[in-house]
Amino acid sequence: MTLSPTLIKAIILFPLNVMGVIPGLILWFTVKLESHQFKFIQLALGGPLIILGLYIICITVFLFTDYGKGTPAPYSPPKILVVIGIYKFVRNPMMIGVWSVLIGETVLFMNVGILIWFLIFVAASIFFVAIWEEQDLEKRFGEPYRQYKKQVPRWLPRIRS
């Protein structure tokens, strides 16, 4: 995977803000730093969710850049419809990865503010995908995307490809 300026800009604009800056600001304004201690259960449950989410995001970014010849950003989308790898099981693995990180941060920090941000982001993601992204993909890729939509679920991964 090549870290082009376009990809770096896409990473800074979306995942860094959604999973880093916004939760960081929420923590900054809601938690006394010296009073926060990680408990084993929080770390044991939240940590793996964050790691899993970051792993999924890395896989999807790699597929978008190397196979799809684009980025996750709407201003530089893949030129080739990505239906390989994790995309054989679910149509929106990148969002699922982000959700996993956010719920992992919620558990890790036991923070209601991050939980609210997670719920807002999930609702916005569902709305965005249904209203804009899928229509855009149909315009760009036509019948291959319509067939893909029929075969692969939007949010809940299927067990077999």
pLDDT, position 16: 78
CB 103 within 8 A of CB 56: no
pLDDT, position 114: 95
**How many beta carbons lie within 10 A of that of residue 101, not counting itself?**
24
- The label of the residue with tokens 């044991």 reads 44
pLDDT, position 136: 93
Distance (Å, rounded) from C-alpha 31 to C-alpha 116?
15
Q: Give domain limits for the chain.
A: 40-151
pLDDT in tens, the chain (161 residues): 556 666 666 666 677 778 888 888 888 888 765 555 668 888 899 999 999 999 999 899 889 988 999 888 878 889 999 999 999 999 999 999 999 999 999 999 999 999 999 999 999 999 998 899 999 999 999 999 999 999 999 998 887 75
Distance (Å, rounded) from C-alpha 159 to C-alpha 161?
7
Q: DSSP code of 152? A: S
pLDDT, position 72: 82
pLDDT, position 161: 55
- The label of the residue with tokens 């319509």 reads 146
pLDDT, position 36: 57
- The label of the residue with tokens 């900054």 reads 28
CB 106 within 8 A of CB 115: yes
Across 3-37, b (16+ Cβ under 10 Å) vs e yields eeeebeebbeebbeebbeebbeebbeeeeeeeeee
Distance (Å, rounded) from C-alpha 32 to C-alpha 119?
23
pLDDT, position 77: 87
List, in order, residues 6 or more apart from 94 with CB less than 8 Å away.
56, 57, 60, 61, 72
